């Protein structure tokens, strides 16, 4: 028996609506703002109940990967059928390809506009 049901993953960032638009472009998910009283909180609702939330915070400091002075703490993986095409598309919407690429044939590491690492994973390596 479970204690609770998973609801969402929330990411701190300097501009919640902007980062939500970035990830909406990657996922095709719909943007929702559950409480009009909290414009610093934006959510993306995905298929199957998955949700990513973006929380705007003052003094945000981007994580530094792979260093540990400001650790990443979490990252998101997205499965794609073609890494080159996926790379072209995420770069076009504002991602930056990270200089360190541990396994570029299986997955590639990028930074979102707020500096969070995320990966595109080729579908044949999807867990």
Residue 27, token pair as written in the block: 């996922």
Domain extent, residue 2, equals 1-59
Percent of the chain at pLDDT > 70 equals: 93
Please state the rounded mean pLDDT for residues 30-54. 83
Judge whether residue 52 has pLDDT over 70: yes
Cα gap 33→69, rounded to integer Å: 33
Asked whether residue 69 falls in the same domain as residue 23, the answer is: no
> Which class for 19: exposed (0-12), middle (13-18), buried (19 or more C-beta within 10 A)?
buried
pLDDT in tens, 73-104: 788 989 999 999 999 999 999 999 999 999 99
Quick check: pTM over 0.85? no
Cα gap 12→58, rounded to integer Å: 9
Asked whether residue 75 falls in the same domain as residue 101, the answer is: yes
Asked whether residue 74 falls in the same domain as residue 54, the answer is: no
What pLDDT was estimated at residue 66?
A: 87
What pLDDT was estimated at residue 104?
A: 94
Q: How many domains does the chain have?
A: 2
Q: Are 104 and 121 in contact (CB under 8 A)?
A: no
Please state the rounded mean pLDDT for residues 13-27. 95
Asked whether residue 10 falls in the same domain as residue 46, the answer is: yes
Asked whether residue 55 falls in the same domain as residue 2, the answer is: yes
Judge whether residue 127 has pLDDT over 60: no
The CATH number of the domain holding residue 81 is 3.10.180.10
Residue 88, token pair as written in the block: 């072209």
What pLDDT was estimated at residue 25?
A: 97
Asked whether residue 91 falls in the same domain as residue 50, the answer is: no
Element housing 83 (H / E):
helix 83-92
Q: Are 119 and 76 in contact (CB under 8 A)?
A: yes
């Amino acid at each position: 028996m479970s204690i609770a049901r998973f609801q969402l993953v929330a990411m701190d960032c300097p501009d919640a609506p902007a980062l939500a638009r970035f990830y909406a472009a990657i996922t095709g998910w719909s943007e929702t703002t559950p409480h009009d009283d909290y414009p610093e909180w934006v959510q993306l609702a995905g298929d199957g109940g998955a949700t990513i939330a973006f929380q705007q915070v003052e003094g945000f400091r981007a994580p530094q990967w792979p260093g540990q002075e400001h650790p990443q703490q979490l990252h998101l993986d997205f499965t794609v059928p073609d890494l080159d095409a996926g790379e072209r598309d995420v770069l076009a919407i504002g991602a930056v390809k990270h200089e360190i690429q541990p396994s570029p044939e299986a997955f590639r590491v990028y930074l979102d506009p707020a500096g969070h690492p995320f990966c595109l994973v080729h579908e044949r390596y999807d867990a």
